[in-house]
Amino acid sequence: MKLQNFLATGLVLALLSAPSSLSAVVEDEYQEGFLTSYLNRGLEKAMQVPADNEKPSFGRHITKYVSVPQFGGYVIGGYRYSSRNNAGTNGFDARLIRIYVSGTVLRDFRYRVQLELKNPAMRDYTLEWIRFKEIQVKVGQFKRCFSYDNPLNPFDVGLCSYSQLAGRMTALVFEDCNGEPGQNGRDQGLQLQGDLFPIGKDGHRLLRYQAAVFNGNGQNRRDNNSQKDWMGNIQLQPIQGLYVGLFGWTGTYKGSNGVSVKRHRWALSAIYERNDWTFRAEYAHHKGRNVNDFDLATNSWREGSTDEADAWYALAGVPVTSWLKIFLRYDVYRKSATWGTMRSIYSICPNFQLHKNLMFQLQYDYVNDRLATDHNYHQLWVQTYVRY
């Protein structure tokens, strides 16, 4: 077994055989906006919530011991321009229009639901057992626990787009390395997670882990084969705010053409947040064919098809004022893990956040794509964010 397959499989098996609340650094947390804050305060006044020290009772007829539901939503839209020949994407567009609700039942169970309104679809539906920080259980549909970039809320990414690593390795936006169409980085499954070993004067947790099993077929889709995707990660936090993580993923993907391919992925990642400074860097490697490279007529793989890809990026967020933060990113994806298939993006993106629920972004990209006819071109994004 090659190194990348060994790392992906070994990491996941180790996590699932070990006894095992994630903070916002790796999770798409829900927050209320302008309008939903009034709705939430009204619900708080209308509902009678038991005191925290009141012991819950259990039974099929119990209706108490539920938190006030928290509603929220946001809209992201703007304009995109590309100098690439026949780009076909220049113009205004609504990127995301979301609405969500979350709350707890019997204090130990948390539910979340998130809907997309632009092209109506279910994004998240989860039920979590959250009694202990050391071990929590989540079931439903949610972000795949691979990479730091994928699980982030769009407000926290820092740029108008996620990295190519997240896009191509988690099927976040684009077709992934195996040919799975964009799935918003989500899948349906079961996940264990937790934070272990408090250290230091601040009591921050030294070790974080996640271990999950998914259908492997993406959001809102039933499994279409007898295989499951297994993934997990181990993250160390030697000092508060600094995480270094190793991620693994192994499974099988079956395309709509009936072709099945293996998927083995691993990533090495780091993230650091302190005093409003942000640093993120990740490298990921993929092993496995793309189902769209298989020729059904000849029952063989097309010439030039490969079974390997990789990606990496480095990002820095520099605070300038209380309302202005500038992000810089160097972002690379190599379709065949070779220099001849490299697509590099150099980005700068000022974030003008005038309010917790209002932000504007202006992003410039210089793109060098060695597989494109016009290797070098420019992109300009303007995006508005508002929580309502």
DSSP string, 216-270: SS-TT----SS--EEEEEEEE-SSTTEEEEEEEEEEEEE-TTS-EEEEEEEEEEE
Contacts of 310 (CB under 8 A, 6+ apart): 283, 284, 285, 286, 333, 334, 337
Inter-residue contact 6 to 227 (CB < 8 Å): no
pLDDT higher than threshold 80 for residue 73:
yes
What is the reported pLDDT for 19? 37
Mean pLDDT of 181-189: 96
Mean pLDDT of 58-69: 92
Inter-residue contact 371 to 346 (CB < 8 Å): no
CA distance 186 to 218: 6
Give the confidence band of 304 by pLDDT, cuts at 50, 70, 90.
confident
What is the reported pLDDT for 6? 43
Mean pLDDT of 218-222: 95
Q: Compute the radius of gyration of the chain from its Cα atoms.
A: 22
What is the reported pLDDT for 357? 96
Mean pLDDT of 296-303: 94
What is the reported pLDDT for 55? 87
What is the reported pLDDT for 167? 96
Please state the separation of Cα 27 from the chain's center in Å: 7
What is the reported pLDDT for 238? 97
What is the reported pLDDT for 277? 97
DSSP SS3 for 166: helix
Mean pLDDT of 233-245: 97
What is the reported pLDDT for 21? 39
pLDDT higher than threshold 80 for residue 119:
yes
What is the reported pLDDT for 14? 39
Inter-residue contact 331 to 349 (CB < 8 Å): no
Mean pLDDT of 78-98: 91
Label the pairing between strands 358-369 and 300-301.
unpaired
Contacts of 338 (CB under 8 A, 6+ apart): none
pLDDT higher than threshold 80 for residue 78:
yes
Label the pairing between strands 376-387 and 121-129.
unpaired
What is the reported pLDDT for 51? 84
Topology of domain 3-49+65-387, per CATH? Porin (2.40.160)
Give the confidence band of 54 by pLDDT, cuts at 50, 70, 90.
confident
What is the reported pLDDT for 89? 76
pLDDT, mean over the chain: 92
Domain boundaries, the chain: 3-49+65-387
pLDDT higher than threshold 50 for residue 100:
yes
Alpha-carbon distances, residue 228 vs 92, 154, 180, 216, 252 (angstroms): 39, 28, 15, 6, 7
Inter-residue contact 270 to 243 (CB < 8 Å): yes
- The residue with greater pLDDT, 253 or 21, is 253
- For 271-283, the pLDDT digits (tens) are 999 999 999 999 9
- For 3-49, the pLDDT digits (tens) are 445 444 444 443 333 333 344 454 667 789 999 999 999 999 999 88
What is the reported pLDDT for 27? 66
Strand partners, 344: 332, 368
CA distance 9 to 290: 20
What is the reported pLDDT for 91? 94
pTM over 0.85, yes/no: yes
CA distance 91 to 363: 15
Find the helix or strand (DSSP H, E) in which 381 lies.
Answer: strand 376-387
Minimum mean pLDDT range among 22-31, 70-79, 250-259, 333-342: 22-31
CA distance 58 to 374: 65
* Residues shown for the chain: 388
What is the reported pLDDT for 289? 97
In this structure, the number of other CB atoms found within 10 A of the CB of residue 255 comes to 18
CA distance 162 to 151: 10
